[in-house]
Amino acid sequence: MEHIHEEKYKGYTIRIYTDDDACNPREDFENMGTMVCFHRRYTLGDKSDLVLDSFGSWDEIKEHLKKQVGADIVLPIYMYEHGGVTIKTTPFGCAWDSGQVGFIYASKGRILEYMGEKEFTERVKERAAKLLEGEVKTYDDYLKGNVYGYRVLDDDETG
């Protein structure tokens, strides 16, 4: 594995590497939210029993998540595909290569448990929405290959 950056510091060499075998943050991390995505060519997000063809619109899916699944915060997920895949919770500017691909959501109970809070206040809701956006950003970095590792070596070590 070849490093992409090297720095010398106080008798140590710090090497940064691209992680070609990164953990999938939707499978290997504890997440507050659940990410449901629908795409013909890609398997994205978390495993789900939802079938896109069972719904007539994104609004119907959002209402289903709120009423049937108990989601209290639901954010859309948009994907841009052009030589690679990137996702975020706000639309991309390109109508041809982008569009909504799913949602990330969490219930009040899950939010309170995950955040260690007792009450579902406006402040908690705002922080929870930011955490869900952060989960989408982390997954986006994974999808784009923006995952790195490092090694700290003594001046006597190689590798």
- Whole-structure pTM value: 0.89
Q: What is the DSSP letter of 54?
A: G
CB count, 10 Å around CB of 76? 17
pLDDT confidence band for 157 (50 / 70 / 90): low
Res 159: pLDDT: 58
Find the length of the chain: 159
Burial zone of 147 (CB within 10 Å; 0-12 exposed, 13-18 middle, 19+ buried)? middle
Share of the chain above pLDDT 90, in %: 85
150 inside domain = yes
111 inside domain = yes
Q: Which residues form the domain of 82?
A: 3-154
87, 77 Cβ separation under 8 angstroms: yes
Res 83: pLDDT: 85
Nearest-angstrom CA–CA distance, 98 and 157: 47
Nearest-angstrom CA–CA distance, 91 and 79: 8
Res 2: pLDDT: 75
**Mean pLDDT confidence for 87-102:** 93
pLDDT digits (tens, 9 = 90+) for 107-139: 999 999 999 999 999 999 999 999 999 999 999
30 inside domain = yes
Q: Is the pLDDT of residue 156 over 90?
A: no
Task: Work out how many domains the chain is built from and give that number.
Answer: 1
Res 36: pLDDT: 98
159 inside domain = no
- Nearest residue to 143 (alpha-carbon basis) of 92, 73, 104, 87: 87
33, 129 Cβ separation under 8 angstroms: no
